[in-house]
Amino acid sequence: MTKLKITTAVRMLSEMRERLELKALENGRSLSGEIVFRLRKSLELEDEQIRKA
């Protein structure tokens, strides 16, 4: 199954963007890749917490 990628705009504070850009550079990811990685991890953590409840 092919996963469809979409484009979306997100509003955030400039300080948050700067921090994400720095982390992306440290992790060898694009800004978009860093955001997707962190969102995925957040959702996985939430799922894990629900399973443990």
Per-residue pLDDT of the chain (53 residues; tens, 9 = 90+): 678 999 999 999 999 999 999 999 999 999 999 999 999 999 999 999 999 98
pLDDT for res 29: 98
Burial class of residue 37 in the structure, from the number of CB atoms within 10 Å of its CB (0-12 exposed, 13-18 middle, 19+ buried):
middle
pLDDT for res 1: 63
Domain boundaries, the chain: 15-52
Q: HSE-up of 1 (CA within 13 Å, CB side)?
A: 3
pLDDT for res 3: 85
